[in-house]
Amino acid sequence: MAIAEMAGREKLLKFLDKSIAADATTDIIYMMCPMHLLTLQERIKELKVGQVLAILTDYDGALEDIPAWCGKTGNEFVGVLESPDYYSFYVKKLKE
Amino acid sequence: MEKIYLDHVATNPMHPEALEAMLPFLKEDFGNPLSLYPPGAKAKEAIEGARGSVASLINAKPNEIIFTASGAESNNFALRGIALALQNKGKHIIVSKVEHHSILNSARFLEKSGFAATYLPVDKSGLVDPDSVQKAITKETVLISIIHASPEVGTIEPIAEIAKIAKKNNIFFHTDAVASAGNIPVDVRELGVDALSMTAHQFYGPKGAGALYLKEGTRIVPLIYGGIQEGGRRAGTENVPAIAGMGKAAELAKRDMGKRSDYVKTLRDKLISSVLSKITNVYLTGHPEQRLPGHASFVVEYIEGEAMLLLLSAKGIYVASGSACSSKALKASPVLLSLGIPSHLAQGSVVFTLGEGTKEQEIDFLIETFPQIISRLREISPYSKGWEGTEDGTCTAKK
């Protein structure tokens, strides 16, 4: 991967230094690809515009996929918090 | 000659309605549940319907049911999947000595993977003492698994009491309910269990369909990685016909459980009292009252279980001796030995398990035939004068 591309991805990632309040949390730790995207797609439907969904996962591919999914679907990728065993991704619903 | 099947704990004939529920999915409705077109949707609908029926049988929520291929898979999945998911919290598990091999061997696998395991003893009726569970708990304990009902001796364990101890200590609790679910009331909320294994062929469903109840929100490491089936927790195209059959069998079990249970219990009690009164030196194994309704298990002195099985089979009566695998391996059952039954007696194990199709005249025929078989075998038994040299576990005939 080109350095410029990596830098771009890191910028997209937005690492957080503390957790933020979420309106719903879904725990898919130990679930592999593509459960992070399927769950995200399903759970976001249940939220209202402006609400935040937290997804807990230990799947590394989510670092690339979740921000990209947000970009593609027009939702906001709020950021990701790294814990020793898993990541917490925060996604804000921007449209129905 | 009429055949008399009295090995319902090994497996059961399918209920005709369960078979009927499977047939469309073996024929015209063969779609893959993940396919987006109508045949796929039909298969998916069958799976979700069955999930609802299985959940209802044990008072769980449908999303708490994961379909597997067998009770053994459910047990492996629970033990290994939960222990691995919790290993950062601690690396000690507790099981009993009367568990099925799918639990015991999973525990041994975990021991090889760096966990410590405690194997709890049982009393002479096969009961686990809840106090012994409390005493075995350490700071490292993350998982306790105790069998609900023993397929070998029929004893029903005090699961609700043990689950309370687990909960009080914030430890995950699983029970192997393969022999009990569908045969006696099993309510995951009343029992207070976090996970429970079951299988369809124990309640007149097909082989090849099992389920694991997993309390909502539980993390588990999958045994099988791949697709998104069962919420990404158990990959592989679903066995749609078997799952549909399991759903129907669960529905029927819920409806008919009381009737089935009362029926086999009456016959079982008749069988137990007749065997104990008509044959000398025969002992009931397991708990006298707290036992599966259709389960009558004995050890018969001076005779080997295999000999009884063969002569009964020659009369058209099919029964078991010890566990199915112990039977094949010609070994004294570790479960019987853990009840404190001496090895020479454990060799003479015979297990009769009754089902809804068992007729009273079949039990009468058994009651008439079995004592004759025992007399014949004792006449030719090299052990008829007794045993000696059993201290090291080997048995020799008294001269």
First to last CA, chain A: 34
Tens digit of pLDDT for each residue in B54-90? 999 999 999 999 999 999 999 999 999 999 999 999 9
Contact between residue A44 and residue A93 where contact means Cβ atoms under 8 Å apart = yes
Nearest to A31 among B88, B217, B233 (CB): B233
Nearest C-alpha neighbor of B57 from the set B192, B254, B247, B210: B254
The predicted complex's ipTM stands at: 0.79
Fold that domain A3-92 belongs to in CATH: Translation Initiation Factor IF3 (3.30.110)
Contacts of B218 in chain A (CB under 8 A): none
* Predicted local confidence at residue B329, as pLDDT: 56
Could A31 and B88 be called an inter-chain contact, meaning their C-beta atoms sit closer than 8 Å?
no
Q: What is the mean pLDDT of residues B319-339?
A: 74
Tell me, yes or no, if B325 is annotated catalytic. yes
Give A61 to chain B, closest Cα distance, Å. 15
The beta-carbon neighbor of A30 closest among B88, B217, B221 is B221
The pLDDT value given to residue B344: 84
B227 contact A CB<8A: no
The pLDDT score that the predictor gives to residue B74 is 98
A9 pLDDT more than 50: yes
What does the block give as tokens for B398?
């008294």
Element (H, E) at B284: strand B282-284
Look at residue B104 in the predicted model and tell me its pLDDT: 97
Among residues A20, A29, A32, A33, which one is catalytic? A33
**Above 50 in pLDDT, residue B171?**
yes
Distance from CA of A81 to the nearest CA of B (A): 19
CA–CA separation, B39 vs B28, rounded Å?
Answer: 9
Mutate which of B219, B229, B233 to disrupt the A interface (most A C-beta within 10 Å)? Answer: B219
Contacts of A29 in chain B (CB under 8 A): 85, 219
CA distance B304 to B309: 9
Q: How far apart are CA B372 and CA B339, in angstroms?
A: 28
**Contact, B145 vs B81, CB < 8 A?**
no
- pLDDT tens, residue by residue, B239-289: 999 999 999 999 999 999 999 999 999 999 999 999 999 999 999 999 999
User: How many angstroms separate the CA atoms of B117 and B110, rounded?
Assistant: 8
Handedness of CA B304, B307, B311, B314 (dihedral sign): positive
* A29 near B CB under 8 A: yes
Catalytic residue among B325, B330, B375, B385: B325
Residue in chain A closest to B217 (alpha carbons) equals A27
* B365, B371 Cβ separation under 8 angstroms: no
Give me the amino acid identity at B217: G
CA dihedral B44, B67, B218, B53 (to 10 degrees): 70
Confidence (pLDDT) at A2: 47
Which residue of chain B comes nearest to A85, CA vs CA? Answer: B88
**B170 touching A (Cβ < 8 Å):** no
What percentage of chain A carries pLDDT values higher than 70?
88
β-pairing, B317-318 with B4-5? parallel
Largest CA distance in chain A: 38
pLDDT at A1: 45
Confirm or reject contact between B1 and chain A (CB < 8 A).
no
Q: In DSSP terms, which residues pair with A95 in a beta bridge?
A: none
Which residue in chain B is spatially nearest to A35 when comparing CA positions? B232
| Strand bridging mode B195-199 / B65-68 | unpaired
Q: How far apart are CA B136 and CA B146, in angstroms?
A: 13
How far apart, in whole angstroms, are the C-alpha atoms of residue B306 and residue B311? 9
B184 pLDDT above the threshold of 70: yes
Q: What angle do CA B325, B289, B341 make, to 5 degrees?
A: 45
Reported confidence tier of residue B363, pLDDT bands at 50, 70, 90: very high
Cα–Cα distance measured from residue B312 to residue B331, given in angstroms and rounded to the nearest whole number: 20
Determine contact: B225 vs chain A, CB below 8 A.
yes
Assign domain B16-253 one CATH number from 3.30.565.10, 3.40.50.970, 3.40.640.10, 3.30.1600.10: 3.40.640.10
- Which of A27, A35, A85 shows the shortest C-beta gap to B232? A35
pLDDT of residue B324: 47
CB contact under 8 A, A27 and B228: no
Residue B311: pLDDT over 90 = yes
Q: Which residue of B has its CA nearest to A84?
A: B88
Domain ranges of chain B: 4-9+257-397, 16-253
CATH of B4-9+257-397, one of 1.20.120.160, 3.30.470.160, 3.90.1150.10, 3.40.50.2300: 3.90.1150.10
**Cα–Cα distance measured from residue B205 to residue B19, given in angstroms and rounded to the nearest whole number:** 8
**Would you mind telling me the total number of residues written for chain B in this entry?**
399
Q: Which residues pair with B145 in a beta bridge?
A: B95, B174
Q: Cα B215–B221–B222 angle (5° rounding)?
A: 95
How far is Cα of residue B369 from the mean position of the Cα atoms in its chain? 28
pLDDT at B333 (0 to 100): 87
Does the pLDDT at position B14 exceed 70? yes
Is residue B74 within 8 Å of B198, Cβ to Cβ?
yes
User: Is pLDDT above 90 for B149?
Assistant: yes
* Cα-Cα-Cα-Cα dihedral sign, residues A68, A74, A80, A86: negative
Spatial distance between the Cα atoms of B122 and B162, rounded to a whole number of angstroms = 13
Q: Is there a contact between B171 and B81 (Cβ–Cβ < 8 Å)?
A: no
β-pair type (B210-214, A52-57): unpaired
What is the average pLDDT across A22-48?
95
- DSSP conformational letter for A78: E
CB–CB contact B232 A29 (8 Å) = no
Contact between residue B121 and residue B95 where contact means Cβ atoms under 8 Å apart: no
